[in-house]
Amino acid sequence: MKLLIIIFFVTIKLFALDITPYFSKTTGAYYKGGVDRVIIKDIDQAKEQIEMAMYYLTNKEITKALIDAHKRGVKVKIFTDDKKVRSQRYRYLASEGIDIRNDKKTQSIMHNKFLVIDQKLVWISSANYTVYSFYRNYDNFIRIKDRNIARYYSKKFDSLFYRYRFIHRPYRESNVVIYFSPEHNFKKELLKEISKAKSSIKFLAFAFTDRDIAYALIQAQKRGVKIQGVYDEAQNDYQQYSTYKMLKNHRMAVKLDKNRYKLHSKVFIIDKKMVITGSYNFTKSANNVNAENSIVIKDRKIAQKYLKRFKEIYR
């Protein structure tokens, strides 16, 4: 019987930060009760500007909310991939007068998925803003209400939109660190966190082909760290260099997801107290070529929410 998962969330305050994790629905009617409804509410409350870096958009209700914001005078800017800019929703937004630009890079992917509202609120996700991302895939979302973080993402958006080099260092505040690829060599940081794990590592992976990360997990297991992971089955079948069999051959507790749609999350949960997520698939292209963003949150309460989601998928 297919696992039934409904949306749930919890708001956690890290010092001055207001962070709320959300998870997609996988059953029920489309456009009812999903995380998109919360995102639309935030878009509807925007007063000055909306900056969205998004690989793919098919959600008609988010599209409508962006147009409504534009019509009431909010400055709406969208940045996407050169191959996706010609898709239906983006063409429709452009026809309504919204400024949409693309990376114009045929050899790489603008894979970011973030939304900044009024430089005070940020949405980060593993998910594109498609219908399935909110209502069928396994995806995860993080809402952060913090001006410093919002401004940091806004600066990154400007560097993409206006095509200048992003030279800022990774963002660090209290228990949150934010990285952009390829500028920050995020893989180095991920490997460092894996090497410091003491008791457990759990991961959810859409695409996982990077052998360096796989070797780091093998070494962690050798020193006694308990590792569990779930791969997207269709992506594993598609990827010639998927690390699934490699880890399975090392008797690691990894599984293939049985959701008929996608396990699209990109998550590491380390020692039940750290969550690493974002748009970054665990591939060399994500680190060296594609435009990605990743966030590290060190907080047990948020980690517990991700562990609950992980366990539901793993079962």
The 3-class SS string of 13-52 reads EECCEEEEEEECCCCCCCCCCCHHHHHHHHHHCCCCEEEE
The residue annotated as part of the active site, out of 42, 82, 118, 271, is: 271
> Is 271 annotated in the active site?
yes
Tokens found for residue 87: 């898709």
Count structural domains, the chain.
Answer: 2
Instruction: Tell me what pLDDT residue 101 has.
Output: 98
Instruction: Tell me what pLDDT residue 174 has.
Output: 81
Domain boundary among 170, 195, 222: 170
List the strands of the sheet with 253-256, edge to edge: 171-173, 176-181, 292-298, 274-278, 266-270, 200-205, 226-231, 253-256
User: Is residue 47 located within the same domain as residue 158?
Assistant: yes
In a domain, 180, yes or no: no
Cα atoms in the Cβ-side hemisphere of radius 13 Å centred on 63: 19
With 0-12 / 13-18 / 19 or more C-beta atoms within 10 angstroms meaning exposed / middle / buried, residue 272 is middle
In a domain, 6, yes or no: no
Cβ neighbors of 166 (< 8 A, separation 6 or more) are: 155, 156, 159, 160, 180, 183
In a domain, 152, yes or no: yes
Instruction: Tell me what pLDDT residue 16 has.
Output: 52
Nearest-5° Cα angle at 162, 156 to 168: 30
The residue annotated as part of the active site, out of 264, 298, 299, 305, is: 264
Cβ-contact 247, 259 below 8 angstroms: no
User: Is residue 103 located within the same domain as residue 241?
Assistant: no
Evaluate the CA torsion angle 257, 195, 174, 307 in order and state its sign. positive
In a domain, 301, yes or no: yes
User: Is residue 160 located within the same domain as residue 253?
Assistant: no
Whole-angstrom Cα Rg for the chain: 19
User: Is residue 165 located within the same domain as residue 261?
Assistant: no
Cβ-contact 210, 282 below 8 angstroms: yes
Domain holding 234, by residue range, is: 186-314
Q: Could you say which residues of the chain have pLDDT below 70?
A: 1-16
User: Is residue 148 located within the same domain as residue 121?
Assistant: yes
> Is 266 annotated in the active site?
yes
Specify which residues 95 forms β-bridges with: none
Q: Which of 76, 17, 9 is nearest to 44 (CA)?
A: 76
User: Is residue 25 located within the same domain as residue 161?
Assistant: yes
> Is 168 annotated in the active site?
no
Instruction: Tell me what pLDDT residue 165 has.
Output: 83
The residue annotated as part of the active site, out of 25, 266, 298, 305, is: 266
**The pTM is what?**
0.93
